[in-house]
Amino acid sequence: MRDVYVIGVGITRFGELWERSFRDIGIEAGIKAINDSGIAGDDIDALYIGNMSAGAFINQEHIGALIVDYVGFASSSHIPAVRVEAAGASGAIAFKEAYLSIASGMHDIAVVGGAEKMTDIGDEMANAIQGMVIDQEWETVFGATYASLQAMMARAHMEKYGTTREQLGMVSVINHRHGALNPDAQFQREIKLQTVLNSGYVAEPLRVFDMAPLSDGAASLVLASGDVAKKYTDNPVKVKGIGQASDTISLHDRREICTMDATVHAAKRAYERAGAKPADIDVAEVYDSSTIAEIIAIEDLGFFDKGQGGKAVEDERIALTGEIPVNTSGGLKARGHPVGATGVAQIVEIVKQLRGEADKRQVKDARLGLAHAVGGSGATAVVSILEGSQ
Amino acid sequence: MKAGIVSYGAYVPRYRIKPEEIGKVWGEDGAARGKGLGISSKSIPSPDEDVITIAVEAARSALLRAGIDAQDIGAIYTGSESHPYAVKPTSSVVAEAILAAPDMTAADYEFACKAGTAALQNVFGLVETGWIKYGMAIGADTSQGAPGDPLEYSASAGGAAFIAGKEKIIAKINGMYSYTTDTPDFWRREGQAYPSHGGRFTGEPAYFKHVLTAARHLMELDGTEAKDYDYVVLHQPNGKFPRRAAKKLGFTDEQLNPGLLTPRIGNTYSGAVPLGLSAVFDIAKPGDRILVTSFGSGAGSDAFDISITDEMERFNRSAGPIVEDMIADAIYVDYATYVKYRKKIRRKGDAI
């Protein structure tokens, strides 16, 4: 396997981008990443796109063909385009597939894109589409929603480990604090714990401010083999190891619901491939589709012991000023969560951190970064570890 | 000679419900919802009130104040999104009720919340060209909010009528400007009982874009600034939007408050700007200048630059009820009474 590097990143502002179309934002992110890398369009060998539900959100399928056409390569270089769908892990797996295509020697340069346009339809319909990632026959039919499954995990975690409502709320507070420092974030303002605790219920005990928003947005990466990377940048970010794992699609079939086994196994594989351990990680982007999801993630990734995640959040050990800054971008909660783009946006943030380009939210001397994406309620997980060259 | 407003009349139903009472039923913090919307209570039509009765009340007040012969009214247009009939006009019933029929024309308008101001523009046109002597424009609604929908906290009832003419003008029109786009922020299809809306999409790309553009452009055309006006009346779907829009346009709370009724009576839709303007007419003095901008989802805004004339001194304002008195004359009801009055309880013999 060859070494693979990230040599370019691009991201749009996340939010309710009502004036812009899916292809608009996809192209913006792609062009930004290509410009950032310094490559020419002709150099690109393949395109990998993470997208969850364009068919349902904007009635458009065949996303690979759409994007490769609108970035201008369909009728010139005729490069292959692959669309990857794995719910919230779509972008992360698109990244992994592009990585594999270069590591295997098949391609030298691949562009990864992630995009979702979720606000062109009403909130109720958008929530219903997001809910398609859980088991329709064994969960949805019986009244479960994505949020209600998260709520069950929260209840179980509170019961088993004494995690408090306030600790859940602090996840949101810290992510908003970080989002306020990110000019591309959907929500760039700090919030008070009381705001979280007073917001309306989505599924008890989770409230509106515990949940990631509906968002539009796109993100993109340029990946290259080692010899190619050297030609374009003296600050490449190495992909040290990627791990992907699966678990049952239904929450009720899981071994246990206070842990996402998919995350545990994906992390184990990624750490092994990267030759790293949790304590080596300087900065992480984790999948906070809800506040409980972040608490479970920081435990499953090995940053804190199982059951100690809530306390770690309360003590702000995951804040920018803490020992392991998590979600410096604002996370899904504050940066926004255009589902297919999320996994790619996480890598964009890690690369910025490892290059020392994260501005006001820069983690000092960040060398090793981790990105963690989840599909559904925990059926799919991807953990990627990247290393800066500084 | 130019057409202007020669009279006005308003009507607000007496019944009110508070957000706390609505929230109680839906397991929500109604007080917080009300605070978020800037609404402390909303008006409810009684069981025997609808857009026609509200329009007639307002029209009668306008006629009494003007002291003109109803037979001289050549056109009645009623703007509403809750006309009692899908087919069969509100305006013809109003015309009969106020004895203006039959030697006249009538039609109903619909443009979400701005149908009343659209009607006003049209009667100005007919009067100014000399086709008719007087024209009446009415904006009235008994607006629909689905049970449990956020709209239920705001959708209310009320209306106002204006008579346009060329003689004894109390308010002259310095300028008008309209701004229209295809922006699907809020809609109700034929046969549907309740409207759908795009949540926050009803804000920036809809309300604010249209209201601010129309108001700014009219001030540009008329060479005015916010400080040149004594009052500003903006469409008021809640208590927050008009305040933010007014601030963005450079108006103060003092200019806005007299015509901002939604915090106390809810969103009267097509009645909102007409009622706000009526409340300002209730207190305005000769020389006062008013900037008015309506908004209708779908979407568009009509802006008017209006000046009160000396005729207002002689105008018989006391011949009709003033808006603030009607707002103060309130009877608060509980949610059960509210759903009964709004005919949301299905009774024996009712259609399923």
Which of B153, B201, B207 to mutate: most A Cβ within 10 Å? B201
Domain CATH for B295 = 3.40.47.10
B156, B146 contact by CB (below 8 A):
no
A273, A387 contact by CB (below 8 A):
no
B160: part of which helix (H) or strand (E)? strand B157-165
Q: Same domain for B90 and B141?
A: yes
Residue B209 C-alpha, separation from nearest chain A C-alpha, in angstroms: 12
Report the DSSP pairing between strands A380-387 and B4-11: unpaired
* Among the partner residues B32, B200, B204, nearest to A198 by beta-carbon distance: B32
Separation between Cα atoms, residue B134 and residue B73, nearest integer Å: 5
Catalytic residues of B: 81, 113, 235
- B165 belongs to a structural domain: yes
Please state the rounded mean pLDDT for residues B64-89.
97
pLDDT for the residue A299: 98
Q: Output helix, strand, coil percentages for chain A, rounded to the nearest 5.
A: 45, 20, 35
B235, B202 contact by CB (below 8 A):
no
- Chain A residues in contact with B200 by the CB 8 A cut-off are 16
Please state the rounded mean pLDDT for residues B239-259.
98
Residue B76 pairs in a beta bridge with B106, B136
Flag whether residue B175 sits within 8 Å of chain A, measured between CB atoms.
no
Q: Which of B13, B21, B82, B83 shows the shortest CA–CA distance to B48? A: B13
Question: Could B205 and A18 be called an inter-chain contact, meaning their C-beta atoms sit closer than 8 Å?
Answer: yes
Q: Same domain for B35 and B164?
A: yes
Q: Same domain for B122 and B263?
A: no
A325-363 pLDDT per residue, tens: 999 999 999 999 999 999 999 999 999 999 999 999 999
Count contacts between A and B (CB, < 8 Å): 15
Tell me how far CA of residue A80 lies from CA of A45, A75, A83, A107, A178, in angstroms: 8, 11, 10, 11, 37
How sure is the predictor about A49, in pLDDT bands with cuts at 50, 70 and 90?
very high
Q: Which of A381, A345, A384, A341 shows the shortest CA–CA distance to A53? A: A341
Separation between Cα atoms, residue A89 and residue A225, nearest integer Å: 24
Domains parsed from chain A with CATH numbers:
4-122+215-237 (3.40.47.10), 129-214+240-385 (3.40.47.10)
How sure is the predictor about A139, in pLDDT bands with cuts at 50, 70 and 90?
very high
Please state the rounded mean pLDDT for residues A197-212.
95
Q: Same domain for B9 and B40?
A: yes
Backbone angles phi, psi at A332, to 5 degrees: -60, -35
B105-150 pLDDT per residue, tens: 999 999 999 999 999 999 999 999 999 999 999 999 999 999 999 9
CA nearest to A121 within chain B? B198
- B161 belongs to a structural domain: yes
Lookup: tokens for A2? 């060859």
Separation between Cα atoms, residue B250 and residue B273, nearest integer Å: 19
Lookup: tokens for B299? 């979407």
A189-208 residues touching B, CB cutoff 8 A: 198, 200
Separation between Cα atoms, residue B249 and residue B291, nearest integer Å: 11
CA nearest to B36 within chain A? A199
| Lowest mean pLDDT, pick from B57-61, B133-137, B339-343 | B339-343
Residue A125 C-alpha, separation from nearest chain B C-alpha, in angstroms: 11
- B352 belongs to a structural domain: no
Q: Which of A199, A223, A221 shows the shortest CA–CA distance to A211? A: A199
Please state the rounded mean pLDDT for residues A197-222.
96
Q: Same domain for B23 and B154?
A: yes
Coil vs helix vs strand at B138? strand
Q: Same domain for B95 and B144?
A: yes
Q: Same domain for B162 and B263?
A: no
Angle at B186 between CA B181 and CA B191, to 5 degrees: 115
Question: Could B196 and A16 be called an inter-chain contact, meaning their C-beta atoms sit closer than 8 Å?
Answer: no
Q: Distance between alpha carbon A15 and the CA centroid of its chain, in Å?
A: 15
Mean residue pLDDT across chain B: 96
ipTM: 0.72
Residue B40 C-alpha, separation from nearest chain A C-alpha, in angstroms: 19
Please state the rounded mean pLDDT for residues A229-239.
96
Q: pTM to 2 decimals?
A: 0.86
Please state the rounded mean pLDDT for residues B213-218.
98
Q: Identity (one letter) of the amino acid at B290?
A: I
Largest Cα–Cα distance in chain B?
61
Question: Could A18 and B201 be called an inter-chain contact, meaning their C-beta atoms sit closer than 8 Å?
Answer: yes
- Chain A residues in contact with B23 by the CB 8 A cut-off are none
Q: Same domain for B217 and B304?
A: yes
B300, B116 contact by CB (below 8 A):
no
Residue B201 C-alpha, separation from nearest chain A C-alpha, in angstroms: 8
Backbone angles phi, psi at B299, to 5 degrees: -150, 155
Residue B121 C-alpha, separation from nearest chain A C-alpha, in angstroms: 31
**Residue B55 domain boundaries:** 4-170+323-341
CA nearest to A122 within chain B? B198
Query: How many beta carbons lie within 10 A of that of residue B213, not counting itself?
Result: 16
Please state the rounded mean pLDDT for residues A78-88.
97
Q: Identity (one letter) of the amino acid at B87?
A: V
Question: Could A123 and B199 be called an inter-chain contact, meaning their C-beta atoms sit closer than 8 Å?
Answer: yes
Question: Could B29 and A198 be called an inter-chain contact, meaning their C-beta atoms sit closer than 8 Å?
Answer: yes
- B203 belongs to a structural domain: yes
- B13 belongs to a structural domain: yes
B262-286 pLDDT per residue, tens: 999 999 999 999 999 999 999 999 9
Tell me how far CA of residue B57 lies from CA of A192, B60, B82, B95, B207, in angstroms: 49, 5, 16, 12, 29
How sure is the predictor about B317, in pLDDT bands with cuts at 50, 70 and 90?
very high
How sure is the predictor about A17, in pLDDT bands with cuts at 50, 70 and 90?
very high
- B278 belongs to a structural domain: yes
Question: Could B201 and A119 be called an inter-chain contact, meaning their C-beta atoms sit closer than 8 Å?
Answer: yes
* Among the partner residues A122, A198, A200, nearest to B198 by beta-carbon distance: A122
pLDDT for the residue A200: 87
Which residues touch B321 (CB under 8 Å, ≥6 apart)? B10, B11, B61
Q: Same domain for B148 and B99?
A: yes
Please state the rounded mean pLDDT for residues A298-325.
98
Separation between Cα atoms, residue B198 and residue B185, nearest integer Å: 5
Residue A130, class by beta-carbon neighbours within 10 Å (0-12 exposed, 13-18 middle, 19+ buried)?
buried
Q: Same domain for B107 and B166?
A: yes
* Among the partner residues A18, A122, A198, nearest to B196 by beta-carbon distance: A122
How sure is the predictor about B352, in pLDDT bands with cuts at 50, 70 and 90?
low
- B184 belongs to a structural domain: yes
- B346 belongs to a structural domain: no
Flag whether residue B148 sits within 8 Å of chain A, measured between CB atoms.
no
Residue A285 pairs in a beta bridge with A371
* Among the partner residues B28, B196, B200, nearest to A16 by beta-carbon distance: B200
Strand order from edge to edge, sheet including B73-79: B105-109, B73-79, B134-142, B157-165, B4-11, B171-180, B300-308, B289-293, B231-234
Q: Same domain for B109 and B157?
A: yes
Separation between Cα atoms, residue A61 and residue A53, nearest integer Å: 8
Which of B200, B202, B208, B209 to mutate: most A Cβ within 10 Å? B200
Q: Same domain for B14 and B152?
A: yes
Alpha-helical segments (H) within chain A: 22-37, 54-58, 63-70, 90-103, 123-130, 146-161, 165-179, 193-198, 226-232, 261-274, 291-300, 309-314, 331-335, 339-355
* Domain count of the fold of chain B: 2
How sure is the predictor about B176, in pLDDT bands with cuts at 50, 70 and 90?
very high
Question: Could B200 and A122 be called an inter-chain contact, meaning their C-beta atoms sit closer than 8 Å?
Answer: no
Flag whether residue B181 sits within 8 Å of chain A, measured between CB atoms.
no
Flag whether residue A16 sits within 8 Å of chain B, measured between CB atoms.
yes
The proportion of chain B whose per-residue pLDDT surpasses 70, expressed as a percent, equals: 99
